[in-house]
Amino acid sequence: MPQTPHIERHFTGSATVRDLVIGRADGLTVPFALAAGLSGAVDTTRIIVTAGLAEIAAGAIAMGLGGYLAAQSEAEHYHAERQREVTEVTEKPEAEVTETAEVFRSYGVTEEESRPIVDALRTRPEAWVDFMMRFELGLEQPDPRRAVVSALTIAGAYIAGGCIPLGPYMLLATASAALSVSVVITLIALGAFGYVKGHFTGTPPWRSAMQTVLIGGVAAGVAFVIARAIA
C-alpha cells in the first residue's frame, strides 16, 4: 500500500526504538540468570564476569547474525514467490483467475459476485500480483535494509542490556555481595523495559512489566538452584 515518505521515515524510527527495547529486555534476562546461577556455585567474580561477557558476545552474535541471515532468506523467498506469481499471471491467466476466485470463495463469496473484481485485477497485472502475494500467500514485502539495521540494533541492545546485571560483579569484590545488587537493579531494569516493551508489542504496559520480571526472576532462580546443586 502506498505511503508518503514522511510516514515511512516515522515508521522506521519507531521500529528501531522497538528493536532497542526488545533487544535490551531480552539481553537482560539470560546474562542475569547466568551470573546469578554462577553466584550459587563460585565466589570469585572474575569467573562470573568472564562467563557473563562470553555469553553476551555469543548471544548478541546469535541474535544479530541469525536474525540478519533469516531476514535475507525471507527476502529471497518473497522474491522467488513473486516471480512465480508474475509468471502465472502472464502465462496462465485462466488458472490464476480460478485461484483468485478461490480466495474470495473461502469467504462465502460466489464466483459470480467476485467476477467484477477479478476482471478489474486482470487489467492491472502489477496490482494483481501484489494482491495474490498478500491475499493468497499471506506474504508481505520485506525491507532488506531494515534487516541489517534491525540485526545491529538488537545485538547492540543485547550487549548494553547484559552490562546491567553484570556491572555489580565488575565493581564488587565478592559474588554474594554483587548478586544482591545485581538482583535489585536488574529486576528494576526488567520492569522498566518490560513496561516500555508493552507499548511496542501491544501488551498492556503493567502486565508486560510483570511478565518480563517474572521470566527473568524464574530463569535466574532456576539457574541458581541448578548451579548450587552441581557445585
- In the complex, minimum distance from the CB of residue 12 to a copy of itself, in angstroms, rounded to a whole number: 18
Residue 223 makes contact with a copy of itself by CB under 8 A? yes
| 3-class secondary structure, 44 | strand
84-123: which residues touch a copy of itself (CB under 8 A)?
Answer: 104, 106-110, 113-117, 119-121
Candidate residues 7, 8, 69, 87; the one interacting with a copy of itself per rule CB under 8 A: 69
Q: What grid cell was written down for 40?
A: 550459587
Binding mask 125-164 for a copy of itself (x = CB under 8 A): --xx-xx--xx--x-x------------------------
- In the complex, minimum distance from the CB of residue 213 to a copy of itself, in angstroms, rounded to a whole number: 12
Candidate residues 15, 17, 57, 163; the one interacting with a copy of itself per rule CB under 8 A: 57
In the bound state with a copy of itself, the residue whose beta carbon lies nearer, of 20 and 56, is 56
14-43: which residues touch a copy of itself (CB under 8 A)?
Answer: 26, 29-30, 33-34, 37-38, 41-42
Dihedral sign, Cα of residue 96, residue 99, residue 105, residue 107:
negative
| Angle at the Cα of 78 from the Cα atoms of 110 and 131, rounded to 5 degrees | 25
Q: What grid cell was written down for 1?
A: 500500500
Candidate residues 7, 70, 137, 188; the one interacting with a copy of itself per rule CB under 8 A: 70
d(CA 225, CA 107): 53
Q: Which residue bears the cell 528493536?
A: 19
d(CA 168, CA 182): 6
186-205: which residues touch a copy of itself (CB under 8 A)?
Answer: 201-203
Q: How far is CA 23 from the centre of its chain?
A: 8
- The answer to whether 200 touches 50, Cβ cutoff 8 Å, is no
Residue 59 makes contact with a copy of itself by CB under 8 A? yes
